[in-house]
Amino acid sequence: MATAGQTAARKKGQITCMYHTGNNLEFVCENCSELACMKCVATRHRAHALTELGDIVNQKKSKMVKFIDELENNKLQNITEKIGAIEQQIENTSEYFDKLGTTVQEHGEELKQEIDGMIAESVSHCQKRREDNIRLLTDYKQCLKDSHKGLDKEIHECKTQLQEASDIELYDAEHVFESFPLELPDYPNLNTTSFEPPSHYRCYLEQALGTLVTNDRSDGQTESTVQLQPSTQASTSERSMSKARTTRRSVVKYKLLPQTVTLGKLYTKRIGNRICPVDNDEIWISYWDVLELLNKKGTVRRQFKFTVRITDISISPRTRNIWVCSDADSSIMECTQWAPSVSFYCNSKPLCLCVTIENHILVGMSEKVVRFSQHGKPLMSTKTSKPRQSLVRLPQKIAECRLTQNVAVVERQSHEENIEMQVIVIDKNFEELFRFKGDMLEYQPESKAEFDPWDVTFDNVGNLLIADCNNHSVLLVSSVGEFIRTVFTDERNTQAICLNKNHVLWAVFGDVVKRLQYLSA
């Protein structure tokens, strides 16, 4: 028995009272929350609220039955259904990506076969040209031998006549050897063939192989709502591969249209200062502190708001993420599908930027352009030979050519310094190639104004497209700096331009964005 001041603890399963030996526990004391026997009713639990043990047990049994019923009929069944759904999703996912991988593999094999065919065709062309040239040279060699033989015969006859012929005979023979042709046969016109491999061919290979497009779980979607569509994807690939089997891929050549075609236009809320293309007929457009993704109808697909002013934007060729710079806090930011985040800060105010095909960040600052890694490590900078004689003075826009990796930099006039308005083109090692200052432009007399570049980009063949603000025009300049023609002229100032993979030129004229087609395949 417990001593004074202590309360005895009943062991689980014990059916007799610890205070009254031999008495069974029959009641539950609601005041003390313990079991009691008949004697406890009159002693330890006198005047307490007591309930028969059987009634309490029946209540617990009822709760347990409901709990079991809830688990068996709802929870367990729901879990079983989810497990079955996940197993089916795992099976569908495995089947989808296996089929997708097979499609990529088969398309790659098709490309290999076509490349092998192209190689064989080029080699055969070389063999034919070799045989033709060898035949021409052999014929020429035979002509030389015949000439040699004929001349040798004539020399022998002349020597014989000199020794044996009389004066009359020599006189009669004079006109014969003087009229004999001494000129050698003309050298044959041989076939000339050369081979010029591209210096940067990966972009062509990526375009030929295709791109894996992933579905982002954005706009409130959860993992369970992401739908895989193997049938549509596969049928499209199969149709493409079937077409590739029946028609041989030819070398793509581009040509200028006689007149630029306007494909459509949209209106913006404010005047956009920078634009970047997205693959599926959408563009990123920046205003003062807002970055929006618009489709070709002008619908806002996504929006980012900043606490600082945006000075430039550029899209990564690899990740397709949009990069932003601000001269307010000298930050370089990367915008993922969720939100923008600062990647690094510059020592000077960034005026413009460009994400290269190698995923480096070109940043234009006062007196220089610097190549950074994604994490802000300086890799290269434009050179300065003397004070105030730097290669780049006041960059306003940067663009990289995906074919040659040449870089174009727009410089605009400063009120404080005597800086010319021009486009400077440098190679990937930051060595100057040429400067385009608009000296040779042939504008219409009524629209002639001072050359005023605001934006620049490279097209699919390496030419430059320049937004000339003052003349409301988009100019086309060759890869060596020669003016080709005016692509388009509008009523409003040209603010910004960009070109997507479908050769569609997007141009901002005030608060209007137009889609233009000037090049065709």
Q: What is the pLDDT of residues 277-297, one digit of tens each?
A: 987 689 999 998 999 999 888
pLDDT tens digits, 472-483 = 999 999 999 999
Q: In terms of DSSP bridges, do strands 494-499 and 34-36 run parallel, antiparallel, or are they unpaired? A: unpaired
What pLDDT was estimated at residue 76?
86
Tell me the C-alpha distance between 272 and 259, whole Å: 26
What pLDDT was estimated at residue 250?
40
Average pLDDT of the segment spanning 98-125:
86
What are the CB-based long-range contacts (under 8 Å, 24+) for 17-21? 19/43, 19/44
What pLDDT was estimated at residue 441?
63
Check whether 133 has a pLDDT greater than 80: yes
Query: What percentage of the chain reaches a pLDDT higher than 70?
Result: 80
How far, CA to CA in Å, does 140 sit from each of 130, 144, 168, 187?
Answer: 15, 6, 39, 7
pLDDT-based confidence at 450, cuts 50/70/90? Answer: confident
6: enclosing H helix or E strand? none
Tell me the C-alpha distance between 358 and 456, whole Å: 20
What pLDDT was estimated at residue 361?
96
Average pLDDT, the chain: 81
pLDDT tens digits, 192-228 = 666 666 555 565 676 677 766 655 444 444 333 333 3
What pLDDT was estimated at residue 242?
40
Average pLDDT of the segment spanning 111-131:
86
Strand partners, 390: 384
Work out the burial of residue 349: count CB atoms within 10 Å of its CB; fewer than 13 is exposed, 13-18 middle, 19 or more buried.
middle
What pLDDT was estimated at residue 103?
87
Tokens encoding 205 = 């290979």
Which range of 111-115, 280-284, 420-424 scores highest in mean pLDDT? It is: 420-424
Check whether 444 has a pLDDT greater than 60: no
What's the angle, vertex CA 495, arms to CA 493 and CA 501, rounded to 5?
Answer: 125
What pLDDT was estimated at residue 445?
45
How far, CA to CA in Å, does 137 sit from each of 6, 183, 473?
Answer: 124, 18, 55
pLDDT-based confidence at 326, cuts 50/70/90? Answer: very high
pLDDT-based confidence at 424, cuts 50/70/90? Answer: very high
What pLDDT was estimated at residue 229?
37
What pLDDT was estimated at residue 263?
92
Tell me the C-alpha distance between 484 and 358, whole Å: 29
- Check residues 491 and 521 and name the one with the higher pLDDT: 491
Work out the burial of residue 400: count CB atoms within 10 Å of its CB; fewer than 13 is exposed, 13-18 middle, 19 or more buried.
buried
pLDDT-based confidence at 417, cuts 50/70/90? Answer: low
Query: What percentage of the chain reaches a pLDDT higher than 90?
Result: 31
What pLDDT was estimated at residue 320?
86
How far, CA to CA in Å, does 118 sit from each of 122, 123, 248?
Answer: 6, 8, 10
pLDDT-based confidence at 311, cuts 50/70/90? Answer: very high
Describe the strand order of the beta sheet including 512-520 as a list of residue ranges.
255-267, 512-520, 504-509, 494-499
What pLDDT was estimated at residue 380?
93
pLDDT tens digits, 244-264 = 333 333 444 678 888 999 999
pLDDT-based confidence at 233, cuts 50/70/90? Answer: very low
pLDDT-based confidence at 331, cuts 50/70/90? Answer: very high
Average pLDDT of the segment spanning 374-393:
81
Mean pLDDT check: name the lowest of 151-155, 206-210, 331-335: 206-210
What pLDDT was estimated at residue 398?
97
Check whether 8 has a pLDDT greater than 80: no
Average pLDDT of the segment spanning 332-348:
90
What pLDDT was estimated at residue 414?
58
